[in-house]
């Protein structure tokens, strides 16, 4: 196999070149100033009125189930990357407070002190509050609504005016007016808005930044601010010293495609200039600012943008059955040795007694439960068609129903690669008895069924060399034969097969192992399918710097110890970098250890 090019990885939960949250550590840290302080900003999770497309403002609505999931996922990401919080600030609106408490619970940090302030409330939308945005645009005209909201709408000349434009105010006797809300009775009535522009919101937020938040950060407190889109805009505007007209938006901080890992570019020095009104702070995604001793930003980046902003992952484990080779099992079928007849397996599983596929399936199920616990998915999005067996007359029919039922609902199909499959795929080449001629004949025989496909990134000679090494074909066949019956049921446009080895394969940071496994899997499943390989780095719980406690969902589960040390995620076949990034982010949350997605494709 040709020599692997230099490795490049994107942090599993960050879209910036900074891949370690410990000051002064991690790849690229020697090129970047050491941060004196770290500040985390988080917009609350999706609210009921976000979902209903209503103007919310100061109306006190709660989170949706999706919003609660986003809050848990944000906490899992912070925990996985080693963040610890000393002090939290939030508004007095329940959607922000609820987000904070869910996040703290996920981080096992409900004990930390928190400060609530009305100055961190969302922008007050006046008489628009409670109205459907689309219906309001239809009634008053999209251009007028754009002016009220301060949006560009393609009209650059109104940007400055929009920043200071207020929606229609509430009447003093309107029951929605904050003077009727007990939370604000101690405030001077002249401080209570009946409507606000973004300029008003910034002017209301900044005094609290200077009086409470900034001093806490300067004293070395590790501060989290959970607030709202527009109040956070005010803090971002102040941190980045943005004028009223334009703000600097770093492309690698706000886009999903990460830059090279060793990029020297700092987020505050990019040339992509946008109006402050165009900035959208995504719900539930932690935004990290690394600051110098004067609280000037060195860089900023989101954690887990691809995963948190996406719907819950639709996932499954495919239970398959296949006969064991007679030569590998001794004895007749019995209650003490049922493996002599059949052995259930995961998508990619060994059928040896040493690496029981029953264990592999159980470990995959434990991983899916951990993904649900951290918020990457929900139990309703873990698809198990096992009840179909009651409808089938025999085992073959049951398997077909299981396969079709799971695949119909799932997008991500997790499969278990046992240790002996990794060993088989990475075994050294051994010449066949009889010399090179016999070896070449064995290679040709094994590779005859593997067609060369364009776009795989692997030529037919590499396929032959990787798949057909003499002496390991039997082991690979045992591990990969179940894939054949799955291949015809996979939708190349939708399904992503996620193969996770149980054992560590750290050779060349896992690249060579991933390449060899990819060749073997693609040869069976097909080059037109989306395949992601998650190769554990090893080290177990706490075995690698950055690994946190197992956290909710993983403590005490039966997953392989190697998964708790983080790892690398590779795309192959028709999978792309985003497929690998989403899986890396999900595994980071589930295992509380950093998984990195490769920027290059196998």
| 133 appears as a binding residue in the annotation | yes
Residue 469, pLDDT above cutoff 60: no
Maximum mean pLDDT: which of 83-87, 247-251, 334-338, 402-406: 83-87
Give the pLDDT of residue 293.
94
Q: What stretch of H or E contains 289?
A: strand 287-291
Question: CATH second-level architecture of 37-251+268-307?
Answer: 3-Layer(aba) Sandwich (3.40)
3-state class (DSSP) for residue 303: strand
Which active-site residues does the annotation give?
44, 122
Q: State yes or no: 161 annotated in a binding site.
A: yes
User: Annotation-wise, does 122 bind a ligand?
Assistant: yes
> pLDDT per residue over 195-246, tens digit each?
999 999 999 999 999 999 999 999 999 999 999 999 999 999 999 888 775 5
Looking at residue 315, what is its pLDDT?
A: 93
Rounding to the nearest 10 degrees, give the CA dihedral for residues 270, 276, 282, 286: 60
Q: Is 95 annotated as a binding residue?
A: yes
- Span 54-110, pLDDT tens digits: 999 999 999 999 999 999 999 999 999 999 999 999 999 999 999 999 999 999 999
Judge whether 445 is annotated as a binding position.
Answer: no
Residue 145 marked in a binding site: no
Q: Is position 37 annotated in a ligand binding site?
A: no
Q: What is the mean pLDDT of the chain?
A: 73
| Antiparallel, parallel or unpaired: β 37-43 and 223-227 | parallel
| pLDDT at 320 exceeding the cut of 70 | no
48 is in an annotated binding site: yes
Q: pLDDT tens-digit profile of 146-157?
A: 665 655 443 333
- Asked whether the predicted pLDDT for residue 271 surpasses 70, the reply is no
Please give the pLDDT value at position 179. 94
Are the CB atoms for 232 and 213 separated by under 8 Å?
Answer: no
Residue 44 marked as a ligand binder: yes
> Which of 215-224, 277-286, 350-359 bottoms out in mean pLDDT, i.e. has the lowest?
350-359
What is the end-to-end Cα distance of the chain in Å, rounded?
A: 12
Please give the pLDDT value at position 583: 96
> Region 436-453: what's the mean pLDDT?
43
Mean pLDDT check: name the lowest of 247-256, 315-324, 535-544: 247-256
Of the candidates 532, 491, 496, which has an alpha carbon nearest to the alpha carbon of residue 514? Answer: 532
462 among annotated binding-site residues? no
pLDDT of 34 reads: 77
Is residue 531 classed as helix, strand or coil in its secondary structure? Answer: strand
Quick check: 177 pLDDT over 50? yes
Nearest to 224 by CA among 117, 318, 84, 362: 84
Is there a binding annotation on residue 50? yes
CB 316 within 8 A of CB 381: no
Domain ranges of the chain: 37-251+268-307, 383-416+474-538+563-601
pTM: 0.76
List of residues 6+ apart from 102 with CB closer than 8 A: 45, 68, 71, 72, 75
Whether the predicted pLDDT of 388 surpasses 60: no
Average the pLDDT over each of 274-278, 412-416, 510-514 and give the range with the smallest value. Answer: 274-278
CA 106 – CA 103 distance, rounded (Å):
5
Residue with tokens 């007679």, as numbered in its chain: 326
Q: What is the mean pLDDT of residues 119-142?
A: 83
C-alpha neighbours within 13 Å on the C-beta side of residue 74: 32
Q: What whole-number distance in Å separates Cα of residue 455 and Cα of residue 464?
A: 17
Q: How confident is the model at residue 537 (pLDDT cuts 50, 70, 90)?
A: confident
Quote the pLDDT of residue 357.
Answer: 57
Distance CA 276, CA 314 (A): 35
**Whole-angstrom Cα distance, residue 304 to residue 11?**
9
Q: Is 123 annotated as a binding residue?
A: yes
CA distance 93 to 59: 8
* Helix, strand, or coil (residue 408): helix
Confidence grade of residue 139 (pLDDT, cut at 50, 70, 90) = low
Residue 132 marked in a binding site: no
Q: Binding site annotation covers 229?
A: yes
Q: Does 582 belong to an annotated binding site?
A: no
Q: How far does Cα 256 stand from its chain's mean position? A: 11
Average pLDDT in the 425-433 region? 54
User: Quick check: 282 pLDDT over 80?
Assistant: yes
Q: Greater confidence, 483 or 546?
A: 483
Q: 454, 429, 455, 453: which is closest to 442 by C-alpha?
A: 429
pLDDT at residue number 428: 58
117-126, 200-209, 267-276 — which is least confidently predicted? 267-276
Maximum average pLDDT range among 384-388, 473-477, 523-527: 523-527
**Is 149 or 165 the better-scoring residue by pLDDT?**
165
């Amino acid at each position: 196999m040709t020599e692997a090019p230099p490795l490049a990885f994107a942090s599993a939960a960050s879209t910036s070149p900074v891949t370690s949250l410990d000051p002064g550590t991690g790849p690229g840290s020697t090129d970047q100033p050491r941060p004196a302080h770290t500040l985390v900003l988080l917009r609350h999770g999706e609210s009921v009125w976000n979902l209903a497309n209503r103007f919310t403002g100061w109306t006190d609505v709660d989170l949706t189930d999706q919003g609660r999931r986003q809050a848990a996922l944000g906490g899992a990401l912070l925990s996985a990357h080693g963040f610890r919080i000393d002090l939290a600030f939030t508004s007095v609106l329940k959607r922000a407070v609820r987000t904070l408490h869910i996040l703290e619970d996920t981080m096992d940090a409900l004990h930390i002190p928190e400060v609530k302030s009305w100055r961190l409330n969302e922008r007050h939308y006046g008489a628009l509050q409670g109205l459907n945005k689309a219906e309001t645009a239809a009634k008053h005209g999209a251009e007028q609504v754009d002016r009220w909201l301060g949006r560009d709408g393609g009209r650059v000349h109104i940007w400055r005016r929009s920043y200071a434009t207020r929606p229609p105010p509430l009447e003093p006797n309107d029951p929605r007016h904050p003077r009727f809300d007990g939370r604000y009775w101690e405030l001077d009535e002249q401080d209570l808005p009946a409507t606000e522009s973004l300029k008003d919101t910034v002017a209301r937020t900044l005094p609290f930044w200077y009086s409470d938040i900034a001093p806490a950060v300067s004293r070395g407190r590790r501060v989290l601010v959970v607030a709202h889109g527009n109040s956070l805009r005010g803090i971002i505007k102040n941190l980045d010293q943005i004028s009223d007209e334009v703000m600097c938006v770093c492309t690698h901080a706000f886009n999903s495609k990460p830059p090279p890992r060793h990029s020297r570019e700092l987020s505050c020095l990019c040339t992509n200039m946008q109006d402050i009104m165009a900035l959208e702070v995504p719900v539930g995604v932690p935004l990290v600012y690394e600051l110098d001793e004067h609280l000037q930003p060195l860089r900023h980046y989101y954690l887990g943008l691809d995963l948190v902003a996406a719907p819950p992952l639709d996932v499954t484990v495919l239970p398959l059955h296949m006969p064991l080779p007679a030569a590998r099992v001794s004895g007749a079928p019995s209650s003490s040795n049922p493996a002599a007849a059949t052995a259930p397996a995961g998508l990619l599983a060994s059928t040896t007694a040493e690496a029981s596929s029953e264990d592999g399936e159980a470990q995959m199920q434990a991983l899916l439960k951990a993904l649900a616990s951290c918020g990457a998915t929900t139990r309703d999005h873990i698809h198990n068609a096992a009840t179909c067996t009651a409808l089938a007359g025999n085992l073959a029919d049951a398997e077909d129903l299981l396969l079709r039922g799971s695949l119909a609902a799932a997008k991500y199909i997790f499969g278990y690669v046992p240790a002996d499959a990794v060993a088989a795929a990475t075994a050294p080449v051994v010449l066949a008895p009889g010399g090179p001629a016999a070896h070449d004949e064995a290679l040709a025989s094994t590779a005859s069924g593997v067609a060369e496909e364009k776009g795989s990134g692997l030529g037919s000679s590499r396929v032959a060399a990787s798949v057909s090494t003499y002496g390991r074909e039997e082991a690979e066949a045992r591990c990969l034969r179940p894939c054949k019956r799955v291949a015809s049921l996979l939708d190349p446009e939708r399904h992503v097969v996620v193969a996770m080895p149980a054992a560590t394969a750290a050779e060349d940071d896992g690249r060579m192992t991933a390449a060899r496994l990819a060749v073997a899997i693609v040869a069976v499943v097909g080059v037109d399918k989306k395949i992601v390989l998650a190769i554990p780095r090893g080290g177990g719980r706490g075995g690698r710097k950055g690994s946190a406690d197992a956290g909710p969902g993983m403590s005490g589960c039966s997953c392989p110890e190697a998964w708790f040390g983080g790892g690398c995620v590779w795309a192959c076949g028709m999978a792309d970098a985003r497929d690998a990034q989403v899986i890396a982010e999900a595994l980071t949350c589930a295992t509380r250890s950093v998984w990195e997605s490769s920027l290059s494709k196998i």
